[in-house]
Structure 1
Amino acid sequence: MNSVSDCVKTKLKINDSVVVNSGSNRGKRGKVLKVDRTKGRIIVEGVNKRNKYLKPSQENPQGRMITLEFPIHISNVMYFCDKCKKGTRIGIEITDKSKTRICKSCSKSIDK
């Protein structure tokens, strides 16, 4: 059902530092935990937290509340550049058959 053409293109990867630029979590920074390209969503550490109730079971006879990070749309986050100290777009620089991600504001290489 979901083909390769249905996937959302993004230059964000796991462990990138991002800042939320819209919604109720605007201004919060965190690390990318998961990128779901088919749904166009991203899970950021410490952002969009919700409580979920676990029903009582044999392993957990009392039941309990757990806090989970729920996904937000990829368009609501920007890469956070350590040199610029702000959210920025990501560009790609091609040199000698290798691609490296760069910050659009300061042209600093993101990939080490």
Structure 2
Amino acid sequence: MGAAKIKKGDRVVVLSGKDKGKTGTVTLSMPKDGKVVVEGVNTVVRHTKPTQADPQGGKVTKEAPLHVSKVAHVTADGKPTRVRFETQDGKKVRVAVKTGDKIDG
């Protein structure tokens, strides 16, 4: 599948869907499925039965995964950008297409 262009901890903006325009931090990346979970975006309500761990049960709000094509990396000025890979000093690094800035360290 190749290297992931969006990783855990990245700041992203949603490009389409009900949460279009919202920004958040990636809390979970699933490169094999091509999905990411973004903090505070694409929330769903799940009704849970009482268990020993949660004797009350009830409604639980949590974030559902988004397809990676629906999000874009955010630059320092808050605008979305695509990500490309470059080799710098013998290392493969992620670079913002719009600004040319290095994303990784």
Note whether the superposition's TM-score is higher than 0.5: yes
CA distance in 2: counterparts of 1:59 and 1:34, whole angstroms: 24
The one of 47, 53, 76 equivalent to 2:70 is 76
The one of 34, 47, 55 equivalent to 1:61 is 55
2:100 matched residue in structure 1: 107
Provide Cα deviations, 1:25-79, integer angstroms capped at 9, x if missing partner.
1000000111112221110000000111111234433322111100011110000
CA distance in 1: counterparts of 2:64 and 2:100, whole angstroms: 32
2:20 matched residue in structure 1: 26
CA distance in 2: counterparts of 1:67 and 1:29, whole angstroms: 18
2:54 is the alignment partner of 1:89: no
Deviation, 1:92, is 1.6
Deviation, 1:103, is 0.9
- Identity of paired residues, percent? 37
> Compared with structure 1, are the counterparts of its residues 106 and 55 closer, same or farther at alpha carbon in structure 2 (3 Å cutoff)?
same
Structure 1: runs of 5 or more not aligned? 1-6
> Compared with structure 1, are the counterparts of its residues 111 and 9 closer, same or farther at alpha carbon in structure 2 (3 Å cutoff)?
closer
TM-score between the two structures when normalised by the length of structure 1: 0.84
> Compared with structure 1, are the counterparts of its residues 9 and 75 closer, same or farther at alpha carbon in structure 2 (3 Å cutoff)?
farther
Q: Pick the structure with greater CA Rg.
A: 1
TM-score between the two structures when normalised by the length of structure 2: 0.89
> Compared with structure 1, are the counterparts of its residues 102 and 54 closer, same or farther at alpha carbon in structure 2 (3 Å cutoff)?
same
> Compared with structure 1, are the counterparts of its residues 64 and 100 closer, same or farther at alpha carbon in structure 2 (3 Å cutoff)?
same
Aligned residues, how many? 105
Q: CA RMSD in A?
A: 1.6
The one of 3, 14, 30 equivalent to 2:8 is 14
